Amino acid sequence: MLDSPGLRPTPDRVRETLFNWLGQQLYGQQVLDLFAGTGSLGIEAVSRGAACVDFVERDPRVAAQLSTNLASLNITASAVHVNDVQAYLTRPAKPYTLVFLDPPFHQQLADPCCSALEAGGWLSEDAIIYLETETSLSPNVPTNWQLYRETQAGESTARLYQRHPL
């Protein structure tokens, strides 16, 4: 794995919990993996039946390694976008049914990204949003996101939200 500032793969225990929560809901999902890093969440989603994954990673070296990993795993229903997540979310959107949002800790990125996802048309009516933050953070998410799962592991808190139409 490349060394990159802020690169913090989701702990195995948290990833296992997340995919247990999602269960059979993954089949056919259109997935957006923001702050993708190693791409472990998106890759796992595809391996469990997601239709496609768009990965967004700002570090070109990390994104290149992710592309190499996807090719070696023969994952073709994916795209890697080398871009800052906040800049990416200002682009014209297509709605996703599942979003992984795992920003670097202590950089105050969770709240503005949640707002941009909601305001920018990035979410389907009943999208599922996974948000992983430092435990000390109480994120301000849009009012139509309902928290339905939460767990803590060390310094990380993982939350799963269900979006409801406004």
* Structural domain boundaries in the chain: 12-95+119-163
Report residue 160 CA to chain centroid gap: 11
How many helical (H) and strand (E) elements, i.e. helices and strands, does the chain have? 5, 7
Pairing verdict, β 156-163 and 145-153: antiparallel
Residue 13 has pLDDT above 60, yes or no: yes
pLDDT, tens digit, for every residue of 34-86?
A: 999 999 999 999 999 999 999 999 999 999 999 999 999 999 999 999 999 99
pLDDT one-digit tens code per residue, 106-134: 899 999 999 999 999 999 999 999 999 99
Provide the pLDDT for residue 18: 84
Q: Enter the pTM of the model.
A: 0.91
Share of the chain above pLDDT 70, in %: 92
What is the model's pLDDT at position 11? 60
78, 55 contact by CB (below 8 A): yes
The whole-angstrom separation of Cα 96 and Cα 31 is 6
Element (H, E) at 55: strand 52-57
CA atoms within 13 A on the CB side of 109: 19
Count of alpha carbons within 13 angstroms of residue 130, beta-carbon side: 27
CATH topology of domain 12-95+119-163: Rossmann fold (3.40.50)
Task: Compute the mean pLDDT over every residue in the chain, rounded to the nearest whole number.
Answer: 90
- Residue-level pLDDT at 10: 60
Phi and psi torsions of 156, nearest 5°: -110, 140
pLDDT at 1 over 50: no
